[in-house]
Amino acid sequence: MFSCECPMLEKAKNSNSLTWCHCTAGYNKKLFEIVFEKPVYVEIVQSIRQGFDFFLLRIAVQ
């Protein structure tokens, strides 16, 4: 993702904390579990809120 789509963070400043990004990870986990019909593991690699240019998730089928 190239923009932060979280409405709760529209006015927030950058932070090293990934706490807010776990809801996005959970949303994507559910989405990919539906697509693959298997459990998936989702890891937040980097976040726009950390100052990166894009949000990156690592998703692996278990």
Tens digits of residue pLDDT in 16-61: 778 878 888 999 999 999 999 999 999 999 988 888 999 999 999 9
Ramachandran angles phi, psi of 56, nearest 5°: -125, 125
Residue 5 lies in a domain: no
Residue 27 lies in a domain: yes
| Domain extent at residue 21 | 17-61
Residue 1 lies in a domain: no
Residue 25 lies in a domain: yes
CA 49 and chain centroid, separation: 11
Q: Rounded to an integer, what distance in angstroms lies between the CA atom of residue 31 and that of residue 47?
A: 19
Tens digits of residue pLDDT in 4-19: 777 777 667 777 778 8
Residue 45 lies in a domain: yes
Residues 50, 3: contact at Cβ < 8 Å? no
Residues 27-34: contacts with CB under 8 Å, at least 24 apart: 28/57, 28/59, 29/59, 32/59, 32/61
Query: Number of folded domains in the chain?
Result: 1
